[in-house]
Amino acid sequence: MTSIGGNRDTQFRCPGPGEFQCASTGLVFVMAQEAELLYRTVPWEESLLQSAGKKAAGPLFD
C-alpha cells in the first residue's frame, strides 16, 4: 500500500481463479483468472454530500 497526495493506493495480486479477500481493506474479489488489481481510496466531495443531505458511510474507492 502506498500513499500519494492523500490517497491510499492498494495493489492486490490474485494468483489464479477463486475468491480472495484483501487483508488491508477487507474487499473481496472473485476472479476467473490470475490478475493484479490497483485501487485507491479518495476523499468524498463534501459539497455534493451536503447538498443531497447525505453523509459518507465509509471509504470511496476509485
- Confidence class for position 47, pLDDT limits 50, 70, 90: very high
Does the pTM exceed 0.75?
no
Helices (H), the chain: 46-51
At 50, give phi and psi (nearest 5°).
-65, -45
- Confidence class for position 39, pLDDT limits 50, 70, 90: confident
SS3 46: helix
Indicate if the alpha-carbon torsion angle 36, 8, 62, 24 is positive or negative: positive
Name which residue leads in pLDDT, 17 or 40.
Answer: 17
Q: Where are the domains of the chain?
A: 2-57
Q: Which three cell numbers stand for residue 26?
A: 477487507
pLDDT of residue 4: 53
SS3 37: strand
The answer to whether residue 19 scores a pLDDT higher than 90 is yes
